[in-house]
Amino acid sequence: MRSDIILREKILSAGRSILEKRLVQSTGGNISARTERGFLITPSGIEYDKILHQDLVELDMEGRVIEGTRNPSVERELHRIILAKRADVNAVIHTHSIYVTSVASARLPLEPITDNQVAVFGGTVPLAKYGPTGSLKPAQTAAEALGSDGCGVLLANHGAICTGKTLAEALLRCEMLETFARIFILAKIAGGGVPLTEEEISFESGFIKESYGQRC
């Protein structure tokens, strides 16, 4: 029971963070976290700073409500399908941040024009094809674009999704994705921006894995 309360509080905290950091507007976006029985997800149409523990809804991996009286997010299929396909993912955050949504609305993948993007996302952040909100299509195309090891995807004309082993990791990736999208747009304005080559991406990825951070 204590672990359930802690997880619920982490979801609420992440919700307040994406609102404060302007990664969403009003009640847009949604957050989920894996549980032993399925996953917890934010409710539909309630402002993040007003959501309470009991407002979160727990679903099983078939999409059936296990616990909760609120209507779950209309985009619950995005979360369900990603969590079902990716055992390594424990948290999914969907945002509508300004720069990310601008790139997604241009229907462009986010090419890596900085080595920092390679460090966080491994290279290009792919673009998932457009599908009506709440339908299976955006959920399926997002999961397909993420593949077996991706941690971020743009949703055409909509926003983005970031995943993580923890909510904190997914939230950090959402913040960084917005930063990289902003750099991408400003670089285009400044003269184009030059994406890293595959060789440069490969070198950066290898170097970061071998040399960056601390070792246990």
Encode pLDDT of 103-136 as tens digits: 999 999 999 999 999 999 999 999 999 988 878 8
Tell me if 164 sits within 8 A of 152, measured CB to CB: no
Let me know if 152 is exposed, middle or buried by CB neighbors in 10 A (0-12, 13-18, 19+).
buried
| Separation of alpha carbons 25 and 22, rounded Å | 7
In this prediction, what percent of the chain has a pLDDT beyond 90?
A: 87
The CATH number of domain 2-190, selected from 3.40.47.10, 3.40.225.10, 3.40.50.10490, 3.30.300.30: 3.40.225.10
| Separation of alpha carbons 135 and 55, rounded Å | 23
Specify the pLDDT at position 214.
45
What integer is the mean pLDDT of 41-47?
Answer: 97
Residue 68 per-residue DSSP state: -
Closest C-alpha among 163, 159, 154 to residue 111? 154
Q: Worst-scoring range by mean pLDDT, 11-25, 93-107, 167-181, 187-201?
A: 187-201
In the structure, what pLDDT confidence band is assigned to residue 213 with cuts at 50, 70 and 90? low
Tell me if 84 sits within 8 A of 66, measured CB to CB: no
Q: Any catalytic annotation for residue 204?
A: no
In the structure, what pLDDT confidence band is assigned to residue 192 with cuts at 50, 70 and 90? confident
Catalytic residue, candidates 58, 75, 77, 178: 75
Q: Mean of the per-residue pLDDT values for the chain?
A: 94
In degrees to the nearest 10, what's the CA dihedral of 187, 190, 196, 197?
140
Tell me if 92 sits within 8 A of 166, measured CB to CB: no
Is the backbone of residue 89 left (phi > 0), alpha (psi -120 to 50) or beta?
beta
